């Protein structure tokens, strides 16, 4: 059987939630990835080092026995984030970045930033303390077409941030457009981007053609085919500015399959398998290891992992849902076949 062994990867952008959902999803990530950058958009958001430490403990308690997994915590930027908190984050061994959500842009972003220039002092403190800024790059202007919100954010906000803070390491998270890819490619070495499996595998027809498919609805929304091709080209190019970040975002099935469904695709159950499928279709499996296991660690200035994971070419069917005792999370490609399967990992 065909197999693929790569250095154990990391997930540089994931939502694992808390409570029963955390217990349902975390094992999926921990068996694939050695480390993961944990998003702070809980309710209430994780805004302080003390809250991040409590959340990290909860995550560590959910790691299956014998599995080696390290959560890398982030803090949620608000208009009230202080320079003292940023210094404390830099001095902690738990917090690895700050996340900027424009207020109202996505799930649990109400406490986010309404006026980005107003938080420039916080960005200056992050630059000084060498803490990366992670950005949900979409404008929130209701007049702006949802398919244009990332492109407009890049032009109106990202360009300005990068100009003002040339030494601030910045990740434009889950890029979805040709314009975002081009911006990252031409910007300096301090600017990188993560790419999700759904944006590499699907275009907007998956969300909207032949019926509305809520499990493919995430933010930024999946765009048209030419954008998918630009993302795939970037991911498989070997350019270290582009690395793996699933944005796996579990929501209860009942909150997705409703008149106004939540944004987020759950992909942690088969993250690496989904990326392998995308890379194989682009005839670029040899580029998967850099994207999944090297470039993110290098950008965050962390050591590369030393263990390995092995995938085998062996078709399996994704379950209809994950969860027990009435809890249900519908995964990406539920009920459909995937051609790669994670075999084992060695730490
Ligand atoms: O689709 C999304 N879901 N995009 C985000 O930015 C947030 C995420 C979530 O937390 O559900
Ligand atoms: Zn996210």
241-280 pLDDT, tens digit per residue, is 999 999 999 999 999 999 999 999 999 999 999 999 999 9
Query: In 3-state terms, what secondary structure has residue 100?
Result: strand
- CA separation for the pair 253, 246 (Å, rounded): 19
For the chain, the average pLDDT equals 97
pTM over 0.95: yes
Pocket of ligand 1 contains residue 14 by CB under 6 Å: no
pLDDT in tens, 29-47: 999 999 999 999 999 999 9
Closest Cα to atom 10 of ligand 1 = 107
| Neighbouring residues of the ion ligand 2, judged by CB less than 5 Å | 247
Helix or strand run (H / E) with residue 3:
strand 3-7
Instruction: Taking residues 266-295, report their average pLDDT.
Output: 98
The pLDDT tens digits for 302-332 are 999 999 999 999 999 999 999 999 999 999 9
Pocket lining: 149 vs ligand 1, CB cutoff 6 Å: no
- Measured CA to CA, the distance from residue 317 to residue 335 in angstroms comes to 6
Residue 315 to residues 248, 341, 342, Cα–Cα distance (Å): 22, 7, 11
Distance 163 CA to ligand 2 centre (A): 25
Q: For residue 152, what pLDDT band results from cuts at 50, 70 and 90?
A: very high
Q: How many CA atoms lie within 13 A of 31 on its CB side?
A: 17
Given a cut of 90, whether residue 106 has pLDDT beyond it is no
Q: Is 93 a catalytic residue?
A: no
**Structure token digits, residue 186:** 């031409």
> What does the DSSP assignment read for 240-287?
TTEEE---B----HHHHSSTTPPP----GGGHHHHHHHHHHHTT-GGG
Band of residue 107 on the pLDDT scale cut at 50, 70, 90: confident
264 CA → ligand 1 middle, Å = 5
Does the pLDDT of residue 1 top 80, yes or no? no
The closest of 247, 201, 204, 208 to 222, measured between CA atoms, is 204
Q: Provide the 10 A C-beta neighbour count for residue 172.
A: 27
pLDDT digits (tens, 9 = 90+) for 115-126: 999 999 999 999
* CA–centroid distance, residue 113 to ligand 1 (Å): 16
Other C-beta atoms lying within 10 Å of the C-beta of residue 86 = 25
pLDDT digits (tens, 9 = 90+) for 177-204: 999 999 999 999 999 999 999 999 999 9
- Name the pLDDT band for 224 (thresholds 50, 70, 90): very high
- State residue 252's pLDDT score: 98
Ligand number, closest to the Cα atom of 196: 2
**264 ligand 1 Cβ < 6 A:** yes
Please tell me if the CB atom of residue 15 comes closer than 6 angstroms to any atom of ligand 1: yes
Which ligand ends up closest to the CA of 137? 1
Secondary structure of 192-209 as H, E, C letters = EEEECHHHHHCCCHHHHC
The predicted pLDDT at position 279 comes to: 98
Left (φ > 0), alpha (ψ -120 to 50) or beta: where does 217 sit?
A: beta
Cα 135 to Cα 78, 130, 153, 165, 299, distances in angstroms: 13, 16, 10, 14, 15
Is the pLDDT at 346 greater than 80? The verdict is no
Instruction: Name the β-bridge partners of 344.
Output: 310
Residues in the chain: 347
245 C-alpha vs ligand 1 centroid, how far in Å?
12
Q: How far is 340 from 281, CA to CA, in rounded Å? A: 12
pLDDT at 238: 98
For residue 128, pLDDT over 90 is answered with yes
Contacts of 43 (CB under 8 A, 6+ apart): 108
The alpha carbon of 219 and the centre of ligand 1 are apart by a number of angstroms equal to 6
Q: Is the CB of 261 under 6 A from ligand 1?
A: no
Is the confidence at residue 345, as pLDDT, over 90? no
What b/e sequence results for 133-163 when a residue is b if at least 16 CB atoms lie within 10 Å of its CB, and e otherwise? Answer: bbbbbbbbeeeeeebebbbbbbeebbeebbe
Rounded distance between C-alpha atoms, residue 259 and residue 214, angstroms? 10
Q: How far is CA 53 from CA 46, 89, 122, 243, in A?
A: 10, 11, 21, 26
126 pocket-lining for ligand 1 (C-beta < 6 Å): no
Residue identifier of the C-alpha nearest atom 7 of ligand 1: 107
CA triplet 254, 256, 258: central angle to 5 degrees?
Answer: 70
């Amino acid at each position: 059987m065909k197999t693929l062994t790569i250095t154990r990867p990391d997930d540089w952008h994931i939502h694992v939630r808390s409570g029963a959902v955390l217990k349902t999803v975390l094992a999926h990530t921990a068996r694939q990835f050695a480390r993961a950058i944990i998003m702070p958009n809980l309710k209430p958001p994780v805004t302080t080092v003390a809250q991040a430490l409590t959340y990290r403990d909860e995550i560590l308690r959910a790691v299956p026995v014998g599995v080696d997994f390290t959560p890398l915590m982030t803090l949620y930027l608000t208009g009230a984030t202080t320079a003292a908190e940023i210094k404390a984050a830099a001095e902690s061994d738990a917090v690895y970045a700050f996340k900027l959500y424009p207020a109202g842009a996505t799930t649990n972003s109400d406490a986010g930033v309404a006026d980005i220039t107003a938080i420039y002092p916080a960005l200056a403190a992050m630059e000084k303390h060498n803490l990366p800024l992670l950005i949900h790059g979409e404008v929130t202007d209701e007049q702006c077409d949802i398919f244009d919100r990332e492109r407009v954010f890049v032009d109106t906000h990202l360009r300005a941030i990068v100009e003002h803070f040339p030494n601030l390491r910045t990740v434009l998270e889950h890029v979805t457009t040709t314009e975002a890819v081009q911006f990252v490619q031409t910007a300096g070495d301090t600017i990188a981007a993560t790419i999700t499996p759904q944006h590499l595998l699907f275009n907007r027809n998956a969300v909207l053609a032949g019926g509305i498919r809520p499990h493919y609805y995430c933010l930024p929304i999946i765009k048209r085919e030419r954008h998918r091709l630009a993302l795939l080209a970037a991911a498989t190019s070997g350019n270290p500015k582009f690395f793996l970040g699933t944005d796996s975002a579990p929501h209860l099935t009942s909150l997705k399959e409703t008149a106004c469904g939540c944004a987020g695709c759950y992909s942690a159950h088969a993250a690496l398998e989904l990326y392998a499928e995308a890379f194989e279709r682009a005839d670029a499996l040899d580029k998967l290891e850099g994207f999944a296991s090297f470039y993110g660690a290098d950008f965050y200035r962390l050591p590369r992992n030393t263990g390995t994971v092995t995938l085998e070419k062996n078709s399996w069917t994704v379950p209809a849902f994950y969860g027990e005792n009435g809890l249900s999370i519908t995964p990406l490609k539920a009920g459909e076949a995937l051609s790669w399967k994670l075999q084992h990992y060695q730490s």
